[in-house]
Amino acid sequence: MKVKVVTKILEANERLAEENRKRFREAGVFVLNLMGAPGAGKTSLLERTILKLKDRMNIGVIEGDIAGTDDAERINTTGVPVVQINTGGACHLDANMIREVLTEVPLQDLDMLVIENVGNLVCPAEFKVGEDMKAMVLSITEGHDKPLKYPLMFQESAALVLNKIDLLPHIDVDIDKLRKDAISLNHGIKIFEVSCRTGEGLDRWAEWLNGLK
């Protein structure tokens, strides 16, 4: 019974995600679903990315959190339109949550919409929201074991941003194993090594994103 219920939930979400996708395509907007654990640096990466690209493309953001508006307030300082979704306990955004706020998003004025998902390494990978692409942020401080512990996130993501590489000299992490395991799960995954604190690697990430629109 539980399997049937879960299947129905995912099927209903897929239908709504396709409706969202149709709206995005009609508006000519590329949609990125940005995922990662709490503290990985999703919002920091998004801030730095916006500042590098805002003169070349129009970017909008949907922020997903269980509670609070801190991340949306940070993004708001960059000058791009941002909408906050508080899930009230749910560990991920779903297609219906996105659909409910689309009237508040100026889709016709955007080239790219970034949906920053709730901090979680499990559920966000299972629920499509109408995106063109999923990407995940992983702080190297989380350890090199994460690809094999949370394989679906890596399998579903077109890009993996390894953040906080400025800390490599100070922590015990095997970044070569991390890369190898990620690629073993997803041969096509693009890997970017960055530091949102120092700015290292961010130009390559931003240029790649710019080429997707």
Which residue, 59, 56, 36, 79, is CA-closest to 207? 56
Which residue, 100, 110, 83, 104, is CA-closest to 25? 110
Residue 188 has pLDDT above 60, yes or no: yes
Q: Dump pLDDT digits (tens) for 48-67.
A: 999 999 999 999 999 999 99
Give the C-alpha separation, 26 to 48, whole Å. Answer: 28
pLDDT for position 2: 46
pLDDT for position 49: 98
Burial 115-124 (b: 16+ CB within 10 A, else e): bbbbbbbebb
The label of the residue with tokens 């991390």 reads: 178
Q: Which helix (H) or strand (E) holds 35?
A: strand 30-36
What residue ranges do the domains of the chain occupy? 2-210
Residue 204 structure tokens: 């390559």
Topology of domain 2-210 in CATH is: Rossmann fold (3.40.50)
pLDDT for position 5: 52
Q: Dump pLDDT digits (tens) for 105-136.
A: 999 999 999 999 999 999 999 999 999 999 99
Give the C-alpha separation, 209 to 193, whole Å. Answer: 14
The label of the residue with tokens 């906050």 reads: 84
Residue 6 has pLDDT above 70, yes or no: no
The label of the residue with tokens 């500042």 reads: 51
Give the C-alpha separation, 51 to 62, whole Å. Answer: 17
Among residues of the chain, what percentage have pLDDT more than 90?
94
H and E: helices and strands count for the chain: 8, 7
Please check whether residue 182 is in contact with residue 156, taking contact to mean a CB–CB distance below 8 angstroms.
no
